[in-house]
């Protein structure tokens, strides 16, 4: 069993590595530039264009955006090798000119000479707005600067090389000087970087959000399985068929209602006195975010009146599936041959039920424990936004829109770890309940 657990742990680590690579490359490959968007707010503070450019380069190096994405990459033979370490305007200019000339060597020399001239910002913007090599030559002619090296370089830039270079793929090896290696090294040291939005440590932002998500989801998880097993038990044991039908109908009504609509209805009808004073049962949305000096239990107690509605919205739609599994499990086990055999031996019905039927009927519930963790987290994204709870769901939603990919990456990894650990716990529980089950897969 120890070997099987070790193999499963290695499989989890490999899966996490693949997930981190896919998420990292996907986040970095998007066309949006989070640094540029962050500096747009600073431009309103009367920073000069030259100051904005220096700030962009500084942040680019700080966050590692001036490096290639991964250890290797497939590029065209005519690709410009240093496009990562440029501002968006310069990178766009380089890509356009390279696509026309297939001559990255001359273009690289040209960019170095332009940097050495220390030109005014308006002249640099005019250059980067050029759409072709002829536009670059016209810019140089209007500039009126006598520089033989630059003039020769502009002429060399106009000499097009074979366009076959546009179609020849080249595997470039970047070594450890890449964005993913830098990010992974920091993660292994417990440093997840800083938020692009407010420059706060990512770890502190996510950990404070997890605090509220755990309070919400763990409470809902306990209620779902406790109430589901109890109601499924009564539905299966009751002699009156109307009891089981009533439980099934009510639970499936909540199962069919979209969670965001259920949350909206509860807020409208049970947090205001618009429909009568008797409907104002619960507190309005929001929580007391400052729980300094309080334990987890103390903070939960202080905010319990705010957490009742979101807990109900997570619990009620999920009860139907648990009730159904318990009901079907008990009714099918009651028809098994071993039950008839035990009755023939004179065992009491209550002992047969609680020692044999109920434990066997609850075995499928073990699988639902592993599936409930990611399901609850995905459901809490909607509820945390609607009820204004500062948890992981709301932070994930805000970070995606703000393109704060460091925060998004950490939360995705946390959800992946929780999901895989949930399935590992399920496998171990299956092995304890039934030793015949093999977890070596």
Residue 98 has pLDDT above 80, yes or no: yes
Tally the residues of the chain. 441
Note the pLDDT tens digit of each residue in 346-364. Answer: 888 888 888 888 888 888 8
Q: List Cβ neighbours of 406 (8 Å cut-off, separation of 6 or more).
A: 192, 193, 194, 195, 196, 202
Q: Which residues pair with 72 in a beta bridge?
A: 173
379-383 mean pLDDT: 78
Six-digit token string for 278 = 């008797």
Report in angstroms the alpha-carbon separations of 134 from 113, 158, 362: 18, 8, 76
The candidate with the shortest Cα–Cα distance to 325, out of 361, 369, 355, 372, is 361
Any idea which of 44-53, 73-82, 235-244, 355-364 has the lowest mean pLDDT?
A: 44-53
Q: Partners of 170 in the beta sheet? A: 75
pLDDT at residue 434 greater than cutoff 70: no
pLDDT tens by residue, 142-192: 877 777 777 777 778 777 777 777 778 888 888 888 888 888 888 888 888
Q: Are 160 and 378 in contact (CB under 8 A)?
A: no
pLDDT-based confidence at residue 365 (cuts at 50, 70, 90): confident
Residue 109 three-state SS? helix
Tell me what percent of the residues of the chain surpass a pLDDT of 90. Answer: 0
What average pLDDT does range 309-322 have in this prediction?
Answer: 86
Per-residue confidence band for 378, with pLDDT thresholds at 50, 70 and 90: low
The continuous run of DSSP H or E covering 57 comes out as helix 49-63
pTM, entire model: 0.70
CB 357 within 8 A of CB 338: no
Mean per-residue pLDDT, 104-127: 82
pLDDT, residue 119, reads 80
Q: Is the pLDDT of residue 94 over 50?
A: yes
Least confident among 131-135, 178-182, 184-188, 295-299: 295-299
The distance from CA 273 to its chain's CA centroid, rounded to whole angstroms, is 38
Name residue 74's beta-bridge partners.
171
Q: Percentage of residues in the chain with pLDDT exceeding 70?
A: 85
17-68 pLDDT, tens digit each: 888 888 787 777 765 666 776 676 555 455 666 677 777 778 877 777 778 8
Other C-beta atoms lying within 10 Å of the C-beta of residue 155: 13
The predicted pLDDT at position 308 comes to: 84
Query: Which band of pLDDT confidence, cut at 50, 70 and 90, is reported for residue 81?
Result: low
Q: Does residue 16 contact residue 184 with C-beta atoms inside 8 Å?
A: no
Whether 279 has a pLDDT exceeding 70, the answer reads: no
The predicted structure's pLDDT at residue 271: 76
The rounded distance, in Å, linking the Cα atoms of 69 and 327 is 52
Average pLDDT in the 253-260 region?
Answer: 85
Q: Which residues contact 354 (CB under 8 A, 6 or more apart)?
A: none
Query: So what's the pLDDT on residue 440?
Result: 53
Angle at 382 between CA 379 and CA 386, to 5 degrees: 140
Domains (range + CATH), the chain: 35-188 (no CATH), 202-433 (1.10.3720.10)
């Amino acid at each position: 069993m120890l070997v099987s657990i070790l193999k499963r742990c290695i499989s989890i680590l490999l899966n996490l590595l693949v997930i981190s690579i896919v998420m990292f490359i996907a986040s970095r490959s998007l066309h949006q530039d989070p640094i540029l968007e962050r500096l747009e707010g600073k431009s309103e503070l009367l920073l000069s264009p030259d100051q904005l450019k220096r700030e962009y380069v500084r942040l680019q190096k700080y966050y590692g955006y001036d490096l290639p994405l991964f250890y290797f990459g497939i590029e065209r033979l005519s690709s410009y090798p240093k496009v990562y370490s440029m501002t968006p305007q310069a990178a766009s200019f380089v890509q356009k000119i390279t696509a026309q000339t297939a001559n990255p060597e001359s273009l690289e020399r040209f960019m170095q000479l332009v940097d050495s001239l220390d030109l005014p910002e308006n002249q640099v913007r005019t250059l980067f707005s050029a759409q072709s090599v002829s536009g670059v030559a016209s810019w140089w002619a209007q500039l009126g600067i006598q520089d033989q090296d630059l003039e020769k370089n502009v002429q060399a830039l106009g000499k097009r090389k074979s366009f076959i270079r546009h179609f020849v793929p080249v595997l470039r090896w970047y070594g450890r000087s890449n964005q993913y290696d830098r990010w992974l090294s920091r993660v292994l040291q417990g440093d997840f970087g800083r938020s692009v939005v407010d420059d706060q440590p990512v770890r502190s932002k996510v950990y404070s959000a997890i605090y509220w998500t755990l309070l919400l989801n763990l409470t809902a998880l306990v209620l779902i399985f406790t109430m589901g097993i109890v109601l499924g038990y009564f539905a299966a044991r009751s002699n009156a068929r109307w009891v089981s039908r009533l439980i099934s109908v009510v639970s499936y009504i909540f199962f069919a209602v979209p969670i965001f609509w259920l949350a909206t209805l509860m807020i409208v009808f049970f947090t205001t006195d618009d429909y009568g004073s008797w409907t104002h049962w619960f507190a309005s949305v929001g929580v007391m975010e400052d729980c300094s000096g309080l334990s987890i239990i103390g903070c939960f107690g202080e905010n319990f009146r705010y957490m009742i509605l979101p807990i109900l919205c997570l619990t009620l739609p999920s009860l139907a599936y648990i009730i159904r599994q318990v009901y079907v499990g008990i009714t099918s086990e009651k028809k098994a041959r071993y039950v008839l055999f035990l009755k023939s031996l004179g065992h009491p019905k209550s002992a047969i039920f609680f020692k044999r039927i109920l434990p066997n009927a609850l075995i499928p519930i073990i699988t639902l424990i592993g599936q409930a963790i990611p399901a609850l987290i995905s459901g809490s994204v909607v509820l945390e936004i609607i009820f204004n709870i500062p948890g992981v769901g709301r932070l994930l939603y805000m970070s995606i829109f703000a393109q704060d990919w460091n925060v998004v990456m950490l939360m995705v990894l946390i959800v992946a770890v929780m999901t895989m650990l949930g399935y590992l716990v399920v496998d171990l529980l299956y092995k304890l309940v039934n030793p015949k089950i093999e977890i070596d897969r």
